[in-house]
Amino acid sequence: ETLSEDLAEFAPPVLDPGDQAFVQRLVDKVWEFTVIFSGVQMFDYQAALGRRIIESVISSDGATITGELSRQSGKTEVVANVAASLMILLPRLAEMFPEFEPLQKFARGVMIGCFAPVEQQVETLFGRVVDRLTSERAQEMLEDPDIDDSVKPGSRRVKLRKCQSFCAMQTANPRAKIESKSYHIIFVDESQSVDEYVLNKSITPMGAFYLATMVMTGTPDIVKGVFYKTIQHNRRQETRRGGKKNHFRYDWKHCARSNRNYAAYIRGEATRIGEDSDEFRLNYKLEWLLERGMLITESRLDELGDPTMPIVSGYWRSPLLAGIDFARKMDSTVVTVVWVDWDRPDELGLYDHRILNWAEWHGEEWEEVYFQIVDFLSNYSVVACGVDAQGIGDVAADRLKRLLPRIQIEPLSSQIADQSVRWKHLQQLLQRGLLSWPAHPKAKRTKVWRRFRQQMIDVEKKYQGAHLLVEAPDEAGVHDDYVDSLRSRIDLEGVLDPAAAL
């Protein structure tokens, strides 16, 4: 992305060729120590991820590394082993190579933070680090005269007494008060479930002072989250000139080639739950099933946009529909105007719909908004308008009936069953390609178009029994006003004769 002038002058640190060769030699030695220290067989895919973590930490490149590994293939194992070995070696390497500046921040110990969405999940990673440091094999190596250190275990923090390195565990739960710390290395496990706001607001800044390496591991999900977005960012960065490989993806096929026991386990799981089941595709094939949890995927959204269609600022040639979602608290009031091809229903009796325009108000007085809505709708031959009855919707609908006597104003029930019917109808239109919108280059430059697009890909599907609901995830800055407005446009089939209405 384009940076401001203030940020552009601070280029990321780059090692000269001599230092890069030195780093690679250290990586080889540290990885060799990690394998011996852990006493656990490491496979090629674990080595690739582990070596990149070590390289990033030693070179102090501040990378955010993402790892998608098939379930139970050893991702926590490699992360824990690398964490334990870095705690032991880095302070001693800083002492051995005082001329290599990136190592000097570890002279008084390595500070590592482990995070996961809930306490039980982070305990798995943290517990594995503690197990490595307190094993008989580790005790023998720590007693070596060249190391001469001991472990001070704790319930939430394990520390090496002499070199002062420590590894702490903290939850990434949005409801938890995350204690502010500074870390050299940040590990985030089960990243697909981590709250984006918590990660960006509370966790990532903990590595700012030391230009920390952050490692995010997990498996795919049915909704986009910060893990998905970071993976995509890493993939884009890798394609640039000089880009580093910071994303590591190993599905069950790759892992099974290295581990015959794992191959046998996967065969059993495929037989038990089916290769085409969502669980198998998410956990082992590493497929992001975004269509399961999203109203519409980003690629499908782009397909349905009409690149030849600009925003239509006025239209009177046929009956139009409108939907209004009135603001609640920090939200906006949004009006959506929709054209319908009444003459050509498909074989299921569904009509083609095209969004013509949107209008949005945020923070204005209610009296002003009413009259601005009237003014906006005066540019269109709207015959019916649906109003979300939640919040002030009922009151607003009564007011609009008086201000717009020529338009059929319909307050829409907020009962879950009724909402579900409207959401399922909207989903059906999207799936059958019977809903489109302006996607002309000029339209894409408008604020309303950008907000519509962002909210459409942000919202998530949720089921309450057989009832489908769609809403924005509980994250800061995420809204669903444009989507609710679109849902609120009333289906005129069976309500009125559009020809008679005109």
Q: Mean pLDDT over residues 286-304, rounded?
A: 90
Sign of the four-CA dihedral 85, 88, 91, 93: negative
List the CATH code of the domain at 298-501. Answer: 3.30.420.240
Show the DSSP H helices in 199-309 as ranges. 226-238, 252-258, 260-273, 278-283, 290-293, 298-304
- 384-427 per-position pLDDT tens digit: 999 987 767 678 899 999 999 999 999 988 889 999 999 999 99
DSSP result, 26-45:
HHHHHHHHHHHHHT----HH
Please state, as a whole number, how many other Cβ atoms lie within 10 Å of the Cβ of residue 499: 10
Residue 37 above 90 pLDDT? yes
Q: For helices 75-96 and 44-59, what crossing angle results, to 10°?
A: 40
Nearest alpha-carbon partner for 456 in 472, 467, 445, 441: 472
pLDDT band at 316; cut points 50, 70, 90:
very high
Bridge partners of 359? 335
Residues 6+ apart with CB under 8 A from 89: 30, 33
Q: Which two tokens stand for residue 179?
A: 């204690």
Classify residue 46 as exposed, middle or buried by CB count within 10 Å of its CB (0-12, 13-18, 19+): buried
- Delimit the domains of the chain by residue range: 5-246, 298-501
Q: Output 267 or 494, whichever has higher pLDDT.
A: 267
> Average pLDDT, stretch 76-89?
97
pLDDT beyond 90 at 15: no
pLDDT bin (cut points 50, 70, 90) of residue 180 is: confident
Phi then psi for residue 169, to 5 deg, are -115, 140
pLDDT band at 475 (very low <50, low <70, confident <90, very high): low
Write the DSSP symbol of residue 11: P
Residue 365 CB-density burial (10 A; 0-12 exposed, 13-18 middle, 19+ buried): exposed
CATH class for the region spanning 5-246: alpha beta
CB atoms < 10 A from the CB of 259, how many? 16
pLDDT at position 256: 96
Please say if the pLDDT value at position 360 is more than 80.
yes
SS3 239: coil
Distance CA 272, CA 261 (A): 17
State the Cα–Cα distance between residues 179 and 170, nearest whole angstrom.
8
**Which of 71, 93, 88, 74 lies closest to 36, judged by CA?**
88
Q: Environment class of residue 5 by beta-carbon count within 10 Å: exposed (0-12), middle (13-18) or buried (19+)? A: exposed
Contacts of 429 (CB under 8 A, 6+ apart): 350, 353, 435
Q: What is d(CA 345, CA 177) in angstroms, rounded to the nearest whole number?
A: 54
Lowest-pLDDT range of 62-71, 91-100, 232-241, 281-290: 232-241
Q: How far is the CA of 136 from the CAs of 139, 143, 346, 438, in angstroms?
A: 5, 11, 72, 66
Q: Which helix (H) or strand (E) holds 157?
A: strand 157-160
Residue type, 278: D
- At 115 the pLDDT is 96
> Which pLDDT belongs to residue 494?
46
Class of residue 326 by CB neighbours under 10 A (exposed 0-12, middle 13-18, buried 19+): buried
Query: Which of 174 and 321 is assigned the larger pLDDT?
Result: 321
Sheet containing strand 435-438, strands side by side: 305-306, 435-438, 353-361, 333-340, 315-325, 380-388, 408-412
Judge whether 135 and 39 are in contact, CB under 8 Å: yes
The per-residue pLDDT for 457 is: 87
User: Which range scores top for mean pLDDT: 212-216, 231-235, 242-246, 467-471?
Assistant: 212-216
The number of residues making up the chain comes to: 502
**Average pLDDT of the residues of the chain:** 91
CA quadruple 460, 477, 456, 303: dihedral sign: negative
Distance CA(285)–CA(342), nearest Å, equals 44
| Rounded distance between C-alpha atoms, residue 142 and residue 434, angstroms | 67
Residue with the two structure tokens 């590394």: 65
* pTM assigned to the model: 0.73
Place of tokens 């009409």: 306
Using CA atoms, how far apart are residues 358 and 443, in angstroms rounded to an integer? Answer: 11
pLDDT at 395: 87
Structure tokens, 410: 């319909």
Tokens of 71: 């379930």
Averaged over 46-56, what is the pLDDT? 98
Element (H, E) at 464: strand 460-464
